[in-house]
Amino acid sequence: MFSWLFLQIFCRISKVIKILLSFALYIVLVIFNKYCTKTMAKVLTKKEENYSQWYNDLVIKADLAENSAVRGCMVIKPYGYAIWEKMQSVLDKMFKDTGHYNAYFPLFIPKSFFSKEAAHVEGFAKECAIVTHYRLKNNPNGKGVVVDEDAKLEEELIVRPTSETIIWNTYKNWIQSYRDLPILANQWANVVRWEMRTRLFLRTAEFLWQEGHTAHETRDEAEKETKQMLNVYTDFAQNWMGVPIIQGVKTESEKFAGAIDTYTIEALMQDGKALQAGTSHFLGQNFAKAFDVKFASKEGKLDYVWATSWGVTTRLIGALVMAHSDNNGLVLPPKLAPIQVVIVPIYRGQEMQDQISETANKIKASLESKGISVKFDNRDTHKPGFKFAEYELKGVPVRIAIGPKDIENNTVEIARRDTLTKDTVSIEGIENVIPDLLDEIQNNIFNKALSFRNSMITKVDSFDEFKDVLNDKGGFVLAHWDGTKDTEDRIKGETKATIRCIPLDVEKEEGKCVYSGKPSKFRVLFAKAY
């Protein structure tokens, strides 16, 4: 009895001590916390401290996307989706301008279609989602619903990881004669690849993309199409996203399963890792043979159709984020920014607010007449400083601040997101200043990324050097390779670097494989990649 009482008392005393200690610690933390919020960047992990955490923070805090209740699947939030819509509209126009048109094919693909192209199935089999039943029923043993085992599908359906099979099964019915060619179809769709490790935008179980699927009379025509679309992607990446890329062709082991050749555009992220930003495949007659798609030529001969496919995904948003952004948040290229200019008023009292709003609305209208997207943020619920930080986080390229001093002097303060510099300029002629500034920002962002990228391409001639560069510096490594899968695999095993591509503009150069010492005729591009 006494010992029990003693124990109770002891417990209480130790609890009291614990509480006192926690309280002291808490006070210290609170003070520290207050100090921190006043002196440090508030919301983002620093890029230099933890790059992937910085990326995650950025995507979430800038309101681009968030994780969902479904494993591996993200919710693309309005601001992130607005960027995707801009990408879509630009790309869609580029596709139409090169003679393509849109269509839509089913989400579900009969399982048997996959077994028709053996190489292709190997590439995706391990990450397919499969529909086996078509009905639910109330759980007879309790709450909720269960799968109705009586509603089993005769043939399972695969949720498309890509649409070659369903499309080529369809093209078979569309194509009889050379007069039916070419077919230049594209579809905007979602696809599912059951990824084990996912990251917002970069790798998710479901993602959005476009996939072009074309059919041609001749090999030559299909190859030209493949390269044309690679150039379209290059144009988009460099001139719209401001992301410099390297065009190249994939090695046998890195190419799309089912393709003869896979062409790629490879971008470099700020942490020195490469990211494949788009691919264009020359499929040869592989799918035509698998789905028996023949056409009668002008000479009346039957031949298999030549094919291409090409795609870019919402991963481009990840590339956009990682290519340009800084510790203050996103940096968006003006050509893809949902909001290109934000106007923040600074005022005291209703009267001043009205006065400034009038000026702000005039500026807004004059900029909009030039085709610029402008947001006038006249919320009275947030202070100017808060808004400054918020739009920086969201990467709005240009901010115009208008306060009482500006009204007096007929000026505004213009702040650039890319350089974080501020200037006071006259309101007169601002509708001409801003478009030029947006162009300049677009160019500056690209040039900055380009000089970084160029500084991160290193030629090496020994395997020690190869490893040192990858570990200490990162980026692309140009090295001789003997052309064998074995060497490629070994290098990957030892360094985690893969051959990103054989650059299209590669110079002929006699050399020795950096790993095996065997002869090589040109250098290939290695990097650790996303």
Partner RNA sequence: CGGGCUAUGGCGCAGUCAGGUUAGCGUACUGGUCUGGGGGACCAGGGGUCGUGAGUUCAAAUCUCACUAGCCCGACCA
Contact residues for RNA, defined by CB under 7 A: 14, 18, 22, 26, 30, 33, 41-43, 52-53, 56, 67, 69-73, 123-124, 126-127, 161, 193, 195-200, 203, 250, 254, 256-257, 262, 264, 276, 279, 328, 346-349, 380, 383-386, 388-390, 392-393, 401-407, 412-413, 415, 420, 422
Whole-number minimum distance, CB 438 to RNA, in Å?
A: 18
Decide whether 101 or 386 has the Cβ nearer to RNA. Answer: 386
* Cβ(164)–Cβ(287) below 8 Å: yes
Q: Which of 115, 462 has the CB closer to RNA?
A: 115
C-beta of residue 216 within 8 angstroms of C-beta of residue 181:
yes
Q: In the complex, what is the shortest distance from the CB of residue 471 to RNA, in angstroms, rounded to a whole number?
A: 13
| DSSP code at position 337 | -
Phi, psi of 179 (to 5 degrees): -70, -20
Minimum CB–partner distance for residue 76 and RNA (Å): 15
Q: Which is nearer to RNA, 261 or 392 (CB)?
A: 392
| Three-class HEC string of 457-526 | EEECCCHHHHHHHHHHCCCEEEEECCCCHHHHHHHHHHHCCEEEEEECCCCCCCEECCCCCCEECCEEEE
Token pair for 303: 């031949």
* Nearest residue (CB) to RNA, 38 versus 298: 38
Residue with structure tokens 């090169």?
98
Minimal distance, residue 384 CB to RNA, in Å: 4
Burial class of residue 470, CB neighbours in 10 A (0-12, 13-18, 19+): buried
Q: Which is nearer to RNA, 214 or 279 (CB)?
A: 279
Shortest approach of RNA to residue 409 CB, angstroms?
8
For the CB of residue 178, give the shortest distance to RNA in the complex, in Å: 31
User: Rounded distance, CA 107 to CA 243, Å?
Assistant: 32
* Distance in angstroms (rounded) separating the CA atoms of residues 173 and 196: 37
Cβ 469 to RNA shortest distance, Å: 19
Strand order in the sheet with 152-159: 108-110, 152-159, 129-133
DSSP 237: I
Residue number with CB closer to RNA (8 or 112): 8
Nearer residue to RNA within complex by CB, 301 or 496: 496
The residues facing 76 across adjacent strands are 65
